[in-house]
Amino acid sequence: MIPLIGFVVGVALFLFFPLTADFQHNFLILIMSTRSRIGLQLKNGSILSVYHHSDGYESWLGRILKTHYNSYEQASELIDGGDMSSCWTDDRWDNSADGSYGPQYYSQRGEDCPPRLDANLNEYLSNGEEYWYLFTKGEWVCYTNDSRGFDLVKEVEIPSGALAV
């Protein structure tokens, strides 16, 4: 209940006070999920990718991808399902969780969110996510922008080691 009250108060402050664009952007990042894209580089250099909503930072999503989707076939199968809330969860939209882990695709709740095709890496990195993952040359690479959401994109290391699940 306390997080919900904090969220409501925060949104009210955001809506009713004239703030700078930088503050508003950073505020939204604090109350929203860590948005990311998961991509697969194809032979012609284009990138097929999907949106991933939750926990996109490299110490979680990066490790999950390296642990559970660390082959071209596994990455391709993950991306084929389209945009998702999470690639590794036991939650299901219909509350039918059976304890098994896997992706929670938006298509499972009736949405049409197919993978997106970008012509090259620059196009792939140009849509405002906070983290981008790319399976290329047999491994995952992670990119992030600076914490203020500007256009500075840099490669970051994905920590090693599997998570508990």
What pLDDT does residue 26 have?
41
List the one residue out of 112, 73, 69, 108 whose CA is nearest residue 87: 69
What pLDDT does residue 132 have?
97
What pLDDT does residue 79 have?
98
What pLDDT does residue 44 have?
98
The residues, ordered by sequence, that sit 6+ positions from 137 with a Cβ below 8 Å of its Cβ are 41
pLDDT tier, 165 (very low <50, low <70, confident <90, very high otherwise): low
Q: Quote the mean pLDDT of the chain.
A: 83
Which one of 101-105, 125-129, 139-143 scores highest in mean pLDDT? 139-143
Q: What are the residue boundaries of the structural domains of the chain, listed by start?
A: 1-32, 34-156
Please determine, for residue 124, whether its predicted confidence score (pLDDT) is greater than 70: yes
Which one of 19-23, 48-52, 149-153 scores highest in mean pLDDT? 48-52
Enter the pTM of the model.
0.78
What pLDDT does residue 128 have?
82
Long-range contacts, 132-135 (Cβ 8 Å, 24+): 132/36, 132/37, 132/39, 132/49, 133/36, 133/37, 133/38, 133/39, 133/52, 133/61, 133/62, 133/65, 134/39, 134/40, 134/41, 134/47, 135/38, 135/39, 135/40, 135/41, 135/65, 135/69, 135/72, 135/75
Q: What is the pLDDT of residues 62-78, one digit of tens each?
A: 999 999 999 999 999 99
